[in-house]
Structure 1
């Protein structure tokens, strides 16, 4: 086996977008990093979230996120806010929430324990 055969190849990030009561819910599964963030970037584009840019990102199935993921979320937050909308995170696992807390993202983007909480608050 060559060294490249042993190289880490990240699993593709699974991103599913639905709408609940006019709010876009982006459900993410996998690890969010530089190599996998593309589908999330696309899903969070203001032009892809409808007329009223209100978005909840369901993070229940995300066990790891690096600075690339943080940048994706902050960029989306800025764009959605500029379009008179908002971005909320729901069900963030403890390991990812700790990262968000350390860098202060949880002070910028509202984090909720459940999707239901994020949709109704």
Structure 2
């Protein structure tokens, strides 16, 4: 079987994608993100953050594989924080990369949403 090489367009499209995997650990919704979080990719995260009908939602967003985040990501996380805390729950960010953490710090999201250095810390009570 011959190995297939991606075209430049396919590589660009792949590089600009966001993967969101949703799992649960001890009743905590864990969103594992990978890729770029921006206007073109944010809908996947918005859907995963939807906790409609969930009492006291608890969410951890694992950001260790996010390579880029713009204001779309900031807005989605702040909106989720407002919804989740209104419903008696919490949201935490786990292991943001240096560049993403810097973005969070520049706009003060790290003061609003609890940022932990590892996923294990974010899942701890």
Q: How does 1:38-49 map to 2 (within 5 A)?
A: 38-47=43-52
Equivalent position of 1:22 in the other structure: 27
Aligned residues: 114
Q: Choose the corresponding residue for 1:88, options 92, 95, 119.
A: 92
Flag the structure with larger Rg: 2
Contact 1:22-1:52 at 8 Å conserved across structures: no
For structure 1, list consecutive stretches of 5 or more residues without a partner in the other structure.
none
For structure 2, list consecutive stretches of 5 or more residues without a partner in the other structure.
1-8
| Post-superposition offset of 1:59 | 0.2
1:62 aligns with 2:53: no
1:32 aligns with 2:26: no
Equivalent position of 2:101 in the other structure: 97
CA RMSD, 1 decimal: 1.6
Distance 1:58 1:75 in 2: 17
TM-score w.r.t. the length of structure 2 is 0.85
| Post-superposition offset of 1:51 | 4.0
